Structure 1
Amino acid sequence: MPKLLIVCPTFQPVNTPDQHRIRLSIPWFQKAGWECTVLAVEPQYIEAPVDPVLSQLEDPCKVIRVKAISSGITRRIGLGNLGYRAWWQLKRAGNRLLNAKQFDLVYFSTTVFPAMTLGRVWKRKFDIPFILDMQDPWRNDYYLTQPKTNRPPKFKIAYYFDSILEKYTVPHCDGLISVSEAYPSTLNKRYNINKPFSVIPFASSRLDFEIVKQLNIQNPVFKKDVDQIQVVYTGAVTPGMPLPLKTMLKAFKSVMEHNPEQNIHIYFVGSSYAPNAKSIALPIAEEVSVENCVTEIPDRVGYFEAMKVMKDADFLILPGSMEAGYTASKIYPYILSEKPIIALTHVKSSVSAILKDCNAGPVITFNDKDELQARQGAVEEAISSLIAKGKFKTDVNWEFYSEFSDETMANKQISFFKTILKQS
């Protein structure tokens, strides 16, 4: 029986997007005969809410949880990243595990990137191969193309350390898993390496929606109103998203001006990763003059509560990113919610192809800023057409969607694990 050590600092019950890949995959790993151990951080040290439903679920395998330095202390010196705060604790716990048991592979599946440097440390100490799951870019060059005023606080120092740590780690990994082909291709080119990689999108599970129904999860955002068309976007408004979002809100404004009898309200739920965050979407809505039709909840709601919000919506929106490599884990629960999706995405984003092939709703694509602005009319037409139908249902191609089920995605990971072990 192969033994897999999974490093996922934000593993359940914390509600973070990066842990759901592992949460959904572990039962299938075990069914395929893999013995799994997860190395995580205790929830009270993570700056993200504990999901009330996930907190009731039993751990699917052995989970070792470590402490971390309190962010209340480290933020005094401008440092909040969990990877730095828990690095020594993760290292010590990993050393004990690897000394006590012969693991076959270490799998880093997280966006807590500093923790990934432990792969090189353990490979040198224990001669064990490791795989990096690049769910997002580690060193993100996107902001280098943006005016300094558009860059996040501390970008310069964060970029400096990300550059050093990525260069320290990536060339020594044994394989890369990614949600987008752009990430591993960029890394192989950047470091003049040829690491094997597998593009494996995120998954979602029908079982999660069944849990919503069985537990009678309540919608914490709005009450279902038959006299109002309730439009929902769940998830973070990422740095590359404001321009597509502005275009989409302009389209909504035009539709509402031409159809004043329609009562349309747009909800943005969990729009920021930061705790106690300020609104991100609402200032854009104010700029477009549709703020009276927009409600934003920047803080994240529970994972299952977000699913209930999707189920209660009339339709969903997905303003994509200016980044071609952008992918969104939310599209899979979006599709499973069986609500129409209006998407405005980069033509090269994997989101575009998946939504089109699944027949989940109208997808409008763009290639650059000028083309984005020219797409406003197409977005207006999609909104108007959907509203005119009066029935907000989808005709999803479930046969195609089966390629993105939790079982399929887990089996793809297992196949890649076996490939790496053979090469190692």
Structure 2
Amino acid sequence: MTDRTCIIVSPYFPPSALAGVHRARHLANNLPGAGWTPIVVCVDERFYEEPADPELAKLVDPSVEIVRVEALDQAHARPFGLGDIGLRGYRGIRRAIANLMRTRQIDAVLITGSPFYPMLLSNWIRRTFKVPVVLDFQDPWRSDWGDTLPLLSKGSASHALSKLLEPRAMGGASHVTTVSAEQARKLVARYHALGPQDVTAIPIGSDPADFEALRRGAAPTTIVIDERRWNLTYPGTIWPLVLPTLEAFLQGLAAWRARFPDAAANVTVNFIGTTAQPNNTNEYRVMPLAERAGVADLVNEVPQRLPYVDALTALSRSDAGLMLGSEEAHYTASKLSLFLMSERPYLALFHEQSDAHRSLVKAGGGIALGFARADDLVSRQSELVGALQRLRTQGDAFAPAAPESYTEYTGASVARRYAAIFDRLMARR
């Protein structure tokens, strides 16, 4: 039993298949063990544009209370620039919060994004109900990358809007969480009212129970791994900032095959869910670069985002995993803990100052190569070639990462950290 209750605002929630649902899912499942009862407020799945993932919904504890709200239909809202689920569901989310505040004893509110627009409710919640609000940035709302976009581009307009709206949301935050220490540092530098004690970096986390569900027979709906070949698998999005790292990897792959043709003869490098969109089956982000590097015959790209259990199965059935990061030190792979829990050896290419690189070097179980710029991977191509050869020929020699190496990434650990934040905020009231 718990005697404290929090609202988790997450516009997307299972059965949504989008990556952003896992923060709320892990907290909903694990906060009761840390002394807090969660109530999830999300948009009803009828208003999602993406296909549902019913197997993922089964990984939510059936005891979790979920309030699903109405939203504007996307067909009617999108022509007016209201395609974002955070905008379409904004009024419904606000009404649900108000109703819960009137009828229940609510002690804290967590708003996780993206989508970010519901974070604008922070000032209203604190002013009206005198309840602390934690804003959780799974990605930067306002990014350094946005400053580099052409002035009249769509992305530049979105960035300008984020520069206008993010400060308004932050004004109502009692505490802020991010997924990396570098992202936390940038927020503290941007907002002088925040001190380091007001922003906490907490990983998205993963749950060993998800792999237990696979072992119990959760059935994937899409098979993308040819188990007759040696498979190196990257499950996740390919976004603009990771392209230099990807190109350096593909050049290294070509150099490896040129040096060790026999070892590379039966290899497939799988890139799964590269667009992050369940309906996008035609936008190939890796294959054009693979063709340019001369390794297209070694690459299998699945553009559409697969259901979670399918992606987990693909990783589990692969011989090794591949992780790629950007040249930004703040980037932290949300799937890092999944790789460690999968007990698959891995090759990881991350910024040398990133939390991800430091964590993987400490954890073991694979090969972690750090870099300051992606060009470093080109100039140090022999290291990349050696890493691929070692993984291909000695992959079985890697001992799985010890469970203690990913303890801080488990859903239970993440929930305890949020519970501690809620407890501190309650003590100040």
TM over 0.5: yes
Identify the range of structure 1 (72-81 vs 348-357) with the bigger mean alpha-carbon deviation. 72-81
2:143 aligned partner, one-letter code: N
1:15 aligned partner, one-letter code: A
Q: Aligned to 1:17, what secondary structure does the other structure show?
A: coil
Question: Which of 405, 416, 420 is residue 415 of structure 1 equivalent to?
Answer: 420
Deviation at 1:144, TM superposition (A): 2.0
User: What is the TM-score normalised by the length of structure 1?
Assistant: 0.93
Partner of 2:5: 3
For residues 410 and 245 of structure 1, do their structure 2 counterparts lie closer, same or farther at Cα, with a shift above 3 Å needed?
same
User: What is the TM-score normalised by the length of structure 2?
Assistant: 0.92
Q: Aligned to 1:194, what secondary structure does the other structure show?
A: coil
Counterpart contact for 2:20–2:113, Cα < 8 Å? yes
Partner of 2:387: 382
Q: How does 1:345-356 map to 2 (within 5 A)?
A: 345-356=350-361
Question: Which of 328, 331, 338 is residue 333 of structure 2 equivalent to?
Answer: 328
Partner of 1:141: 144
Q: How does 1:21-420 map to 2 (within 5 A)?
A: 21-56=23-58, 59-145=62-148, 148=150, 154-195=154-195, 196-218=198-220, 220-226=222-228, 228-261=229-262, 262-277=265-280, 278-389=283-394, 391=396, 393-420=398-425
Deviation at 1:390, TM superposition (A): 5.6
Q: Aligned to 1:271, what secondary structure does the other structure show?
A: coil
Deviation at 1:384, TM superposition (A): 0.8
Deviation at 1:65, TM superposition (A): 0.5
Q: Aligned to 1:108, what secondary structure does the other structure show?
A: strand
Q: Distance in 1 between matches of 2:427 and 2:83?
A: 38
Q: Distance in 2 between matches of 1:88 and 1:372?
A: 48
2:41 aligned partner, one-letter code: L
Q: Aligned to 1:272, what secondary structure does the other structure show?
A: coil
Q: Distance in 2 between matches of 1:169 and 1:211?
A: 38
Give deviations 1:184-208, integer Å, cap 9, x for gaps: 3222221211251222112111111
Counterpart contact for 2:366–2:398, Cα < 8 Å? no
Give deviations 1:84-139, integer Å, cap 9, x for gaps: 11111111221111122231111112311011111112112222210011111011
Q: Distance in 1 between matches of 2:62 and 2:48?
A: 18
Deviation at 1:368, TM superposition (A): 2.3
1:258 aligned partner, one-letter code: R
For residues 47 and 18 of structure 1, do their structure 2 counterparts lie closer, same or farther at Cα, with a shift above 3 Å needed?
same
1:395 aligned partner, one-letter code: P
1:270 aligned partner, one-letter code: G
Counterpart contact for 1:267–1:294, Cα < 8 Å? yes
For residues 370 and 245 of structure 1, do their structure 2 counterparts lie closer, same or farther at Cα, with a shift above 3 Å needed?
closer
For residues 215 and 324 of structure 1, do their structure 2 counterparts lie closer, same or farther at Cα, with a shift above 3 Å needed?
same
Deviation at 1:182, TM superposition (A): 2.0
2:28 aligned partner, one-letter code: I
1:14 aligned partner, one-letter code: S
Deviation at 1:271, TM superposition (A): 1.0
Deviation at 1:275, TM superposition (A): 4.6
2:25 aligned partner, one-letter code: R
Q: Which runs of 5+ in 1 are unaligned?
A: none
Deviation at 1:396, TM superposition (A): 1.3
Size of the alignment, in residue pairs? 420
Q: Distance in 2 between matches of 1:88 and 1:205?
A: 32
For residues 116 and 352 of structure 1, do their structure 2 counterparts lie closer, same or farther at Cα, with a shift above 3 Å needed?
same
Deviation at 1:221, TM superposition (A): 3.4
Deviation at 1:358, TM superposition (A): 0.8
Q: Distance in 2 between matches of 1:286 and 1:44?
A: 40
User: Equivalent pairs: percent with the same residue?
Assistant: 28
Q: Distance in 1 between matches of 2:258 and 2:374?
A: 25
For residues 15 and 274 of structure 1, do their structure 2 counterparts lie closer, same or farther at Cα, with a shift above 3 Å needed?
closer
2:203 aligned partner, one-letter code: P
Deviation at 1:224, TM superposition (A): 4.5
1:86 aligned partner, one-letter code: G
Q: Aligned to 2:261, what secondary structure does the other structure show?
A: coil
Q: Which runs of 5+ in 2 are unaligned?
A: none
Q: Aligned to 1:99, what secondary structure does the other structure show?
A: helix
2:191 aligned partner, one-letter code: Y
Q: Distance in 1 between matches of 2:65 and 2:400?
A: 40
Give deviations 1:127-171, integer Å, cap 9, x for gaps: 22100111110111213236x39x9x6112211221111010113
Counterpart contact for 2:71–2:92, Cα < 8 Å? yes
Task: Give the superposed CA RMSD.
Answer: 2.0
Q: Aligned to 2:304, what secondary structure does the other structure show?
A: coil
Counterpart contact for 2:179–2:201, Cα < 8 Å? yes
1:406 aligned partner, one-letter code: G
Identify the range of structure 1 (376-385 vs 363-372) with the bigger mean alpha-carbon deviation. 363-372
2:406 aligned partner, one-letter code: Y
Q: Distance in 1 between matches of 2:297 and 2:128?
A: 59
Identify the range of structure 1 (42-51 vs 102-111) with the bigger mean alpha-carbon deviation. 42-51
Q: Distance in 2 between matches of 1:311 and 1:219?
A: 15
1:76 aligned partner, one-letter code: P
For residues 122 and 216 of structure 1, do their structure 2 counterparts lie closer, same or farther at Cα, with a shift above 3 Å needed?
closer
Q: Aligned to 2:134, what secondary structure does the other structure show?
A: strand
For residues 372 and 421 of structure 1, do their structure 2 counterparts lie closer, same or farther at Cα, with a shift above 3 Å needed?
farther
